[in-house]
Amino acid sequence: MQLILIICTFAIGGSFTGYAGRKILNIFIIEQKWLWIVAYILLVCLLWPLAVLLISIPFGQFSFFLKYIRKIGMRMGIVRSRKLEVGSQESGVQSRESESKLTTQNSRLITHIAIFASGAGSNAQKIIDHFRDHSFVKVALVVCNNPQAGVLNIAKKETIPVLIIEKENFFRGNAYLPELKTKQIDFIVLAGFLWKLPSLLIQSYPNRIINIHPALLPKYGGKGLYGHYVHEAVIANKEKESGISVHYVDEIYDHGKLIFQTKCSVLDNDTPDSLAQRIHALEHEHYPKVIEEIVRKSNKS
């Protein structure tokens, strides 16, 4: 939609510029054709930025075109950069230090989340998409225990740093806490991560680790109940409803405090695959929004 509005602004602004340029030149008597053409080109160059800015206002694109025109002006040397010019080398160093401090302070206003995943990463992709260019949340790391997992391809495509973890160090070592601290991770989101989290990690991120489970907890949760195993159990027990549950993570599988649930019907002819498709749709629709709301509340508390 924004692209359409930008194209319309360009088209109408250009047409208006051409029309206004001819009307203005017709006021003056210019007999030489070449002189008229030169004057017309110069006039159009002057009128075009004003016309585009004017037309962009009703289309809601004024901010975009103001930045666009300023960038052109800077490249042509007409408009000076907003950065402060510092006369002495000492002042320049101080200015850069101040900018660095400001950048650091601003970056800490952003909550850095790590996505823990073991498989294809469809939920991870939806989370990344949701928080792309977000105002207060950034996906800063993808943590994976499977070197062959599809989520690693997603992280590579999205240029998100990856941490491959090994069982020994995860459960009997430092739980990779130094690496998480280096990346300034504030919040952990489990998206199809099949390992139980060690107590050290849970204690280091109290109420800042969440998980999504493909069933209506407390039913069909616990060790071994994940993915298709959950859907097979739901269908075998002839349940009429299933759904998703988002919860905080504690030391027990699928046990932490519930945050969000939503349901879908289990049809008479459902298979684990068909039910899984509807569950995935619920996960993709709701999980990123729930994450955003939890982070917002955590930042306020």
Residues 113 and 178 in one domain: yes
Residues 62 and 172 in one domain: no
Q: Which of 26, 59, 76 is the last residue of a domain?
A: 76
Percent of the chain at pLDDT above 70?
86
Residues 281 and 174 in one domain: yes
Q: How confident is the model at residue 90 (pLDDT cuts 50, 70, 90)?
A: very low
Any domain includes 100: no
Residue 34 pLDDT > 90: no
Pull the structure tokens for residue 1.
């939609």
Any domain includes 95: no
Pull the structure tokens for residue 117.
């995943």
Any domain includes 96: no
What is the mean pLDDT of the segment spanning 161-179?
Answer: 95
The whole-number pLDDT of residue 264 equals 96
DSSP code, position 268: T
pTM of the model: 0.65
Residues 199 and 71 in one domain: no
What is the mean pLDDT of the segment spanning 85-105?
Answer: 48
Percent of the chain at pLDDT above 90?
58
Q: Which domain, by its residues, includes 46?
A: 2-76
Residues 20 and 114 in one domain: no
The whole-number pLDDT of residue 84 equals 35
Rounded Cα distance, 158 and 294, in Å: 24
The whole-number pLDDT of residue 136 equals 93
Q: What residues pair up with 264 in beta bridges, in sequence order?
A: 242
Any domain includes 184: yes
Residues 136 and 280 in one domain: yes
Return the CATH number at 134: 3.40.50.170
Pull the structure tokens for residue 131.
């928080």
Q: What is the mean pLDDT of the chain?
A: 86
Any domain includes 132: yes
- Burial (Cβ within 10 Å: 0-12, 13-18, ≥19) of residue 133: exposed
Q: How confident is the model at residue 99 (pLDDT cuts 50, 70, 90)?
A: low
Q: How confident is the model at residue 17 (pLDDT cuts 50, 70, 90)?
A: confident
Q: What does the pLDDT look like over 132-148, one tens digit per residue?
A: 999 999 999 999 999 99
Number of domains in the chain: 2
Query: Judging by DSSP bridges, how do beta strands 187-190 and 209-213 pair with one another?
Result: parallel
Residues 125 and 208 in one domain: yes
E strands within the chain? Answer: 111-117, 137-144, 162-164, 187-190, 209-213, 241-248, 258-265
Any domain includes 220: yes
198 CA to centre of own chain: 28
The set of catalytic residues is 213
Residues 48 and 167 in one domain: no
Any domain includes 92: no
Rounded Cα distance, 65 and 60, in Å: 10
Residue 56 pLDDT > 60: yes
